[in-house]
A and B are shown apart, each in its own frame.
Chain A
Amino acid sequence: MKEMIQLEKREFFHSIRLDASLCKGCINCLKRCPTEAIRIRKGKAAIKKEYCTDCGECIRVCPHHAKKSTFDSLDSMADYEYKIALPPPELYAQFNNLEEKSLVLNALLAFGFDDVYEVAAAAELVSEITRKLIKESHINKLPVISSACPSVIRLIRVKFPNLVENISPVVNPAEMAANAALKRAIIRTRLPREKIGVFYITPCSAKVTDIYSPLGTGKSQIDKAVAISDIYPRLLPLMKDIAANEGKYEFPKEINKAGRIGVSWGAHGGEAGGLLTDNYLAVDGIENVIQALEDLEDSKFHNHKLEFIELNACSGGCVGGVLAVENPYMAKVKLNILRKYLPVSGTRMDEKVPPYAYHDEKIEFQPVFRLGETVEESINLMKKVDELINKFPGLDCGCCGAPTCRAHAEDVARNLTTENECIHRLKKSIYKSSESELTVHES
C-alpha cells in the first residue's frame, strides 16, 4: 500500500478503487455518487479524484462488486515490534450476544496485539473537550460541526466554503486514541516511534483515506488501517476460546474503560448525545447530510440556536460503514444492549487538554467544482453549458457516461467529451439525415 500512496498526489488520495475486470460500465454507481465524481469512460466507471469524498456509496450499490475499499493487511503487524490495536465502538456491535466488551478487547490481545486502546474511550475525551468548546464559543461561531466523519469533512471542503469555519477543531476519536496510546507505549517500552505500530480497525473507506491523507493534521499517528470485515472472523474463535477457558489467559483490566457516552459514538446520534444538550442536529446518510448542509448554508435553521451538528455519511452512523459486517440497524440494537450497564463515562481529561487534541492544520476550501480558472472564463464556460443543455433531452439517463445532462454539458464545455456521446442526440441526427435522404428521393 505504501508504494501505491507514493504514486498518488497526497492531497486527493483515495481508498476507493475500481476493479476494471469486474466493471460492466452500468450506471448504478454513476447515478448514486453524491458529488457526481464518476464518469463511465471506455465502458468503465472512472472516479474524478478531486470530487470524490470516499463516502462508499459506489461500493454499496455496485452489483458486480467492482468498487472496493483498500485497507492494510493484518500481516503488516509483523513489521512492528510493539503493536497497538485501536478498536472503534462499532466493532463491538458486530458480535451476537456480547455481554462484555472486554471479551473483544482481550481477543485482540490474544490475536497478537501488545496493547489495546478503545476508540470509545478517546471519544469520551473528544466529547468532554467539545462540551467545553461549545460553552466557551461565541454564539456567532455556533453551531460546531463534528469533525468525526472524514467523508463529511471532505464534502464540506469542496462544496460548502462558508461552513468550513464551523468544523470542530478537535481531532476525531481515532486520532485522539492513537496519540494517547502512543504516549503510553513509549513510556512503557522506551522503543523508538518507528518500532511501534498503531493499528486502527476501520469500519469504512473514508477513514482509510483519512489516515493516509489526513485533513486538519499534517500526519496521522495511525500507521495502519485494518478492516472490521477482515479481523472479525479471526476474533470470533479467539472470543469463544477465551469465554470457554476462564483462567487460561490473563488480561490487564485497565484497557476496558469506555462508558455509555463513548460506546454510543458507534451509531447515529451517539456523538451528539454525549454533549448533554438538546440543541443539536444529528443527520445520517450522505444525501441527508448534503440537504442539511444546504439548509444550514441557506440560513434555514437560524430560528433555532443550534449548538452542534453531528453528520454521518453512512446511514445509521459508523455501524453503517462499508467495511462493517452486521446490518447497521441491528448493530445499533446491539450497542444499546451492550451499553446498558456501563457507567455514563469511563474516561476523563485528568490534566490540561493535550495539544494533539486539536487540528494543527487549517482545513481550507478547495474550489474543485468551479468551471474556469477565473470568473471571466467561468462566465464563458457557463454560457456554453447553458447553450449545450438545450441540445440534450433532460432525461439524465446516464448513457453518455455522465450522471446528468447538465454534468454532460459541463464535460463537453470543458472539452472532456463530445456532444454526440449523448445517444438521444445521435439518434436525432441519424433521423435527420435519413429524412433529408427521403426528401431527395421524393423530389
Chain B
Amino acid sequence: MKMPIIQLENVWKIYKMGNVEVNALQGLNLDIKEGEFVAIMGPSGSGKSTAVNMIGCLDVPTKGKITLENHDISKLSESELAQIRGRKIGFIFQQFNLIPTLTALENVMLPMIFQGVGENERMEKATKLLELVGLGDRIYHKPSELSGGEQQRVAIARSLANDPEVVLADEPTGNLDSKTGANVLDFLEKLHRDERKTIVMVTHDQNLAKVAERIEFLKDGKIVKSLNNNRRSDAK
C-alpha cells in the first residue's frame, strides 16, 4: 500500500462572523496517497474551498490534525509552512492568478525564486515547463496577451516549477469554455499519467471529476461518499 502524502484527520474549521460561528469543516477525514488523482466534489457551501486551503497548507485547522509527509502542519511556523508549500505543493487556481506585470517565463520562475534557485537554472527549467505545456513560443508574453486557456497552462507550468509532490487544482476549468477546459483537463491527466504527479482537483462538475481515479463527495464540511472510479483506472 502506498504511503499517504497528505492526511486530514477529523479536521474542523470554524469561522467567526460577528457573533455567529460558521462550521466550514466538521470532522473531515481524507487521505491522499502518492501518485493518486483525487477529485473533491460538492455543491457550493459544502466546504470545498476551505478543504483546499487545508490541503494546500494555506490555512491551519481549528481542530484536528493535518499531516504532510509526516509533518504536523499545525506545529509549523508561518515561514516553515511557506517553505513546505513552495516545495511540496503546486497550486492551480480557478482565476489562474498569474502576476500580471510579469511575463509567462517570469511567472513560472517565481516559485523558484522563493526557493533560492539560481537564475540560469530557473530560466532553463521554466522554459522547459512552458514547452511542456505547449507554450514554448510564448514565453515572453504577459498574461494579458494570452488567452484564458494559455494562462491556465502557464499556471500549470508554474505549479510544477519546484517539482511538487502534489498538484492542487481548485476549479481549474471554472473560468474556461468547455473546449479549452477539456484541453486543460487532458493536460492534468497527462501529468498524472506521464509525470506520475499526485493531483487533487476540486470541482463541482461531475463530468470533470470523472477523469479522477477517486472521487470524494463533500457535504456540510465532511466526506459523505467516496467512489473509486474504475472506468478511469481501466482506461489507464
State yes or no: do A and B come from one complex.
Answer: no
| Partner-A contacts on B (CB < 8 A) | none
| Partner-B contacts on A (CB < 8 A) | none
